[in-house]
Amino acid sequence: MLSPQHSSDMHNVIADLIKGIISMATPAPASGLMDPVPASNLFARELASREMVDRLVSYIIQDFSALKVITTPSSPSSSPTTTEDTENSIECLPSFDSSISSVINSISIIIELIRKNSSDYFEPYLFHTLRNRLIQYQQHLTEEVGKAPDEAKEMMEQAMSEFVNRMGLVNLGPVLNGVGDRMRELTMFLRTPRSLVSAIFL
């Protein structure tokens, strides 16, 4: 939904939603102490996968220099034909505006993903929280449920797997690799911004 085939309004809504989920799923020391179950960051880990990063980067480096800017009539007294043509042109996507919106919102999501998952305390916090959860679960099995040691061990291993899947570290390696592989194209846009190239076609 962040592709240029969708409107800038949809881009803004989707980007705000994704960044909101990233923020809610970000580990924090207070959440591990106060919340009965810490938030899952599985969404952030999926978003940081190479497939998702490559898709976002493809939106960022897309070529839209030949697209024209869609302008709306400045006067309400415009002729019906002009208004109708403008409405029809707005519905034609991708447009220059939707392409720019796609680039900006894709970049903002990558920035938010890195910003929320690169603090130094995340790794010790996650391991500390995982250890506490396993200790609590072990006490629950032995004291309250009365499981045998062998049976409790098997359930502990299963619980550990579930906790790790819920609270694993977000690997930002695919993000760096995905952006790094297209660095030549990104550098080219820094030297020759698409906005300047597009102005020649208008």
Digit-by-digit pLDDT tens for the chain (202 residues) are 899 999 999 999 999 999 999 988 876 655 544 555 567 888 999 999 999 999 999 999 988 766 665 555 554 554 454 444 544 444 588 888 899 999 999 999 999 999 988 776 677 777 777 788 788 888 877 776 666 777 777 888 888 888 777 777 888 999 999 999 999 998 988 888 876 655 544 4
> Which pLDDT score is estimated for 164?
76
> Which pLDDT score is estimated for 86?
47
Which is it for the CA torsion 187, 115, 8, 52, positive or negative? positive
Structure tokens at 168: 């694993």
For the chain, counts of helices (H) and of strands (E):
11, 0
Cα–Cα distance between 83 and 53 in angstroms, integer?
39
> Which pLDDT score is estimated for 59?
94
**38 Cβ neighbours under 8 A, 6+ residues apart:** 27, 31, 32, 129, 166, 167
Structure tokens at 83: 């208004």
CA of residue 175 relative to chain centroid, distance: 11
pTM over 0.95: no
> Which pLDDT score is estimated for 174?
94
CB count in 10 Å sphere of residue 5? 13
Structure tokens at 138: 């072990």
> Which pLDDT score is estimated for 37?
58
Query: Please, which contacts does 176-180 make with residues 24 or more away whose CB atoms are closer than 8 Å?
Result: 177/50, 177/53, 178/50, 178/53, 178/54, 178/56, 178/57, 179/53, 179/57, 179/110
